[in-house]
Structures are given as C-alpha cells and as structure tokens.
Amino acid sequence: MEFTAAQIAGFLKGTVEGNPDVTVSNLAKIDDGTPGTLTFLANPKYTPFIYTTGSSIIVVNEDFIATQVVPGTLIRVADAYSSFATLLEMFDQSKTGATGISPHTVVATSALLGENISIGDFSVISKDVTIGKNVIIHPQVFIGNNVTIGDETVIYPGVKIYHDSIIGHRCTLHSGVVIGSDGFGFAPIAGNNYQKIPQLGNVILENDVEIGSNTTIDRATLGSTIIRRGVKLDNLIQVGHNAEIGENTVVAAQTGISGSTKIGKNCMIGGQVGIVGHITIADNVKIGAGSGVEASITRNGAMMLGAPAIEINKARRNFIHWRNLDEIVRKVYSIEKKLNNLHE
C-alpha cells in the first residue's frame, strides 16, 4: 500500500517540506534508505545520513535545521521518534493478513466470538471462551475453557492460555507465551518427597499488556496472578504464582519474579534480575541488570544494583573497590608484614 507525504503528514499532524505527492510503500533505516521508503531522524548521531539517504520521505523534529540540501521530502513533527513508532505500528497492522476463521480450527459450540476476528490454522478454542471484536489469533494457539479475551488483542503462533485466564483489550502475546500454567507449589512430606499443592486461581492481564516470546505467567494458588494495565514484559521471563506487577512497569529478558511478590507501577527492571518471593517493590523503582533482590524495596523511585541489590550509588562505589581488591589485599599484607617486623 502506498502513501503520499501529504497523507502521512495528516496522519502525524505534521507539515510537509518538499514534494507533498511523493509516495512510499515501506520503511527503512536512515543509513540504508532507498527510493520509495520512509525513514526518520531523532538521534543527532545520525544527522549526517539525512544528506545521503535514498529514502523519499524523512520524518524529523520541528526544530531540525538543515546545513546542506536534503534530497528527500521532510515531514516535521513534534516528536520524530514517537511518530515513527506510530508509523511502524500502522505498517505492522497492514501486514497481519487477517483472513477470518480457518476451517482447520476447532471452536467449541459454547464459545462466544466477537465481530471481525481472525483465527489461524490448527488453533483450539475451548468451551465457554469469550473473544472480543477485532481479535487476531494466529495458527496453533490453544485457548482453554472459560478464557476471556478482550477487543483488538493479538495472539501469535504457539501461545497457550490455560483455563479461566482473563486477557484484556489491546494485549499482545508473542509466540511461545504460556499464561496460567500451574504455580510452583509443593509441600515437603516424609521420605524427602513432595506433595503437589493444587493451583486453583487464575491469571489476569489488564488492558494494553504486551508479553514477549516464551515468557510464562503462572496461575495463582488461590486468587489471581495480576499483570496491570500497560505492563511490558520481554522474552523469557518467569512470573510466579500470585505475583502482581503494577501498571506501566517494564521488565527485560530472563528476569525471574518469584511467587507472591508485589511490584509497583512505573518500575523498570533490567535483564536477568532475580526477585525472591513474598516481598514488595515500591513505585518508580529501577533495578539494574543482573541484580538479585532479596528484600522489599520500600522507597519510591529507588535505584538498585547488584546481588544482593543495594542503592546504586553505594553499589558503584563498591564495584570500584572490588576492581581494586587485589591491590588492596597486597597493601594490607605489606602493612601486616611491616607491623610484624616492628613487633619483633
């Protein structure tokens, strides 16, 4: 599908500088743009490429000042980065290939399906499932009994959603996501054996949640594991039973969140962070990659780093000492030797 500069400027509420009738049909990076593509400039580091890019249209900030002739047509907007993200979303939606319900899909007679939905090959929609309007379900998805899925949600191939889970509006679940598998609940019994504790709760994803590939969110033992509105989880994350993640919190890949942990809103958690169970993390907290959180973080806006995680400024000072540890030890041995000589 082709768009003119004038159409794109209208969509982004921007202004055209150049040919308003030039058309594009794809997007490109500014350093390898070709005719017929659209690109953007937000990071000043890439400014030299705006004078050499082959892209037909370049989205720039309103305050951009050219020092040379720009070969393409400019669209000036308030925020080039967010505007380009909007265009990426628009192009992505145009490529979803939604084609209705495949004849190779199994849909229970008791399932309630909304308007304008797409269900791909070899997916299973179980009993008493409710699916909202404009939902896209890709091939080989399993949706268990009594699951609710909100409007405009997209579920990619291979996702498994266990029974009683609730998925909100405009959520995105990438390939391999598992929602509602049993929490890790086992009681020790005689003979070094373990008795499984039935997991009778569910998982709730509120609106506008995005879950990365192969992330798993366990169902609660009782009650609900809750992922609040606007949360973004990266790939390969484990969320334990009865955990709660506050709204607009983002978590990077390979992080493990143990059961019954409560994370506040607007938090930022780096990759490979380990968080123990039954603790609370305040709002607006930032936790650096590779950290181990073993106790509650109660200060709003705290910045933590290390294993165990401590306040970031203290952690950085400790790291400086750690890098010099060998030299410090040699100095201590030297002082100790001199003291021993004086004593003798």
CATH code of 79's domain: 3.40.1390.10
Please give the positions annotated as active site: 241
What pLDDT band is residue 319 in, cutting at 50, 70 and 90? confident
What pLDDT band is residue 341 in, cutting at 50, 70 and 90? confident
**Residue 332 DSSP class:** H
Q: Whole-angstrom Cα distance, residue 25 to residue 4?
A: 9
Are 330 and 246 found together in one domain? Answer: no
- Burial state string for 250-278 with b = 16 or more CB within 10 A and e = fewer than 16: bbbbbbebbbbbbbbbbbebbbebbbbee
In tens, the pLDDT along 102-142 reads 999 999 999 999 999 999 999 999 999 999 999 999 999 99
**What is the arithmetic mean of pLDDT over 43-47?**
94
End-to-end CA distance of the chain: 90
Are 261 and 170 found together in one domain? Answer: yes
Are 248 and 337 found together in one domain? Answer: no
What pLDDT band is residue 255 in, cutting at 50, 70 and 90? very high
Q: Which of 77, 36, 42 is nearest to 57 (CA)?
A: 36
What is the structure's pLDDT at 113?
96
CA distances from 68 to 16, 39, 57, 106, 120 (A): 18, 18, 16, 60, 50
What is the structure's pLDDT at 89?
79
Are 323 and 256 found together in one domain? Answer: no
Are 282 and 341 found together in one domain? Answer: no
Are 281 and 204 found together in one domain? Answer: yes
**What is the arithmetic mean of pLDDT over 150-172?**
97
**What is the arithmetic mean of pLDDT over 298-315?**
95
In tens, the pLDDT along 46-86 reads 999 999 999 999 999 999 999 999 999 999 999 999 999 88
126 neighbors 147 (Cβ within 8 angstroms): yes
42-47: long-range contacts at Cβ-Cβ below 8 A with a sequence spacing of 24 or more?
42/79, 42/80, 42/81, 42/84
Are 196 and 304 found together in one domain? Answer: yes
Which of 53, 71, 94 is the last residue in one of the domains? Answer: 94
Alpha carbon 226 to chain centroid, angstroms: 16
40 neighbors 30 (Cβ within 8 angstroms): yes
With tokens 């969509």, the residue in question is 11
Q: Where does residue 21 rank: exposed (0-12), middle (13-18), buried (19+ CB within 10 A)?
A: exposed
What is the structure's pLDDT at 97?
56
Q: Whole-angstrom Cα distance, residue 208 to residue 167?
A: 10
What is the structure's pLDDT at 95?
63
What is the structure's pLDDT at 139?
96
Q: Is the pTM of this model over 0.75?
A: yes
What is the structure's pLDDT at 99?
67
User: Can you spell out the DSSP letters for 26-85?
Assistant: EE--GGG--TTEEEEE-SGGGGGGGGT---SEEEEETT---SS--SSEEEEES-HHHHHH
As for how many domains the chain has, the answer is: 3
Are 168 and 52 found together in one domain? Answer: no
Q: Answer yes or no: is pLDDT of 91 > 80.
A: no
- Which amino acid appears at position 183 of this protein? G
Within a domain: residue 151?
Answer: no
Query: Taking the CB of residue 52, how many other CB atoms lie within 10 A of it?
Result: 12
Query: Hey, is 129 helix, strand or coil?
Result: coil
Are 295 and 178 found together in one domain? Answer: yes
Within a domain: residue 207?
Answer: yes
Give a three-class secondary structure readout of 87-100.
HHHHHHHHCCCCCC
Are 260 and 335 found together in one domain? Answer: no
Are 304 and 323 found together in one domain? Answer: no
**Residue 101 DSSP class:** B
Are 62 and 40 found together in one domain? Answer: yes
Domain that holds residue 83: 3-94
| CATH label of the domain that carries residue 296 | 2.160.10.10
